[in-house]
Amino acid sequence: MLRQRARVVEQFDNELRQLARDMVDTMHEADGIGLAAQQIGKTLSICVVDIPEKGDSDEEGNRLHPDVEMPLVLINPRVADSSEETSSYEEGCLSFPDITGPVIRPDDVTVNYQDLDGNEHTISAGFLLGRCMQHEIDHLNGVLFIDRMSHVKRVALGGKLKRLKKKTAGK
């Protein structure tokens, strides 16, 4: 399921709103900051993000993205633009418990998406919010954070990944 590309959401109805609420609840219960539909067995282009205020603040405590209301529901999101500047950050994923690793991503991204009513929006973000959106949009495209790790790191995680695959086979 995690390798499947998401289908475009065309129906903006109460069923979609309920799915978004359920995804936010699931993300919070797992102490996550992002969740894509594939992670709960759906192949729809929807993901949710909820960056805590502390994770979206600079050293002085100023909010980096004060106009972004959390949790954020992104429907049919796509990265429209990204910075040439990149950085490495230790990422994890709710679908890969106890597995983390350095992932290089653009520092800043611009994402086009729709809200629960089908209205179009654009958001530009960096830091944890930008990284989290990139991670979740990758999920919607069937790309996993382990795919973005170095070959050496994937080899080092090989045993853990094989055990996880065996444990979750058929689920």
Cross-strand bridge partners of residue 36: 47
Exactly one of 10, 15, 59, 136 is catalytic; name it.
136
Catalytic-residue membership of 136: yes
How far lies 17's CA from each of 7, 82, 112, in Å?
Answer: 17, 29, 19
Strand 86-92, strand 72-82: pairing: unpaired
Annotate 137-157 with three-state secondary structure. Answer: HHHHCCCCHHHHCCHHHHHHC
Neighbours of 27 (CB within 10 A): 22
> What is the set of active-site residues?
136
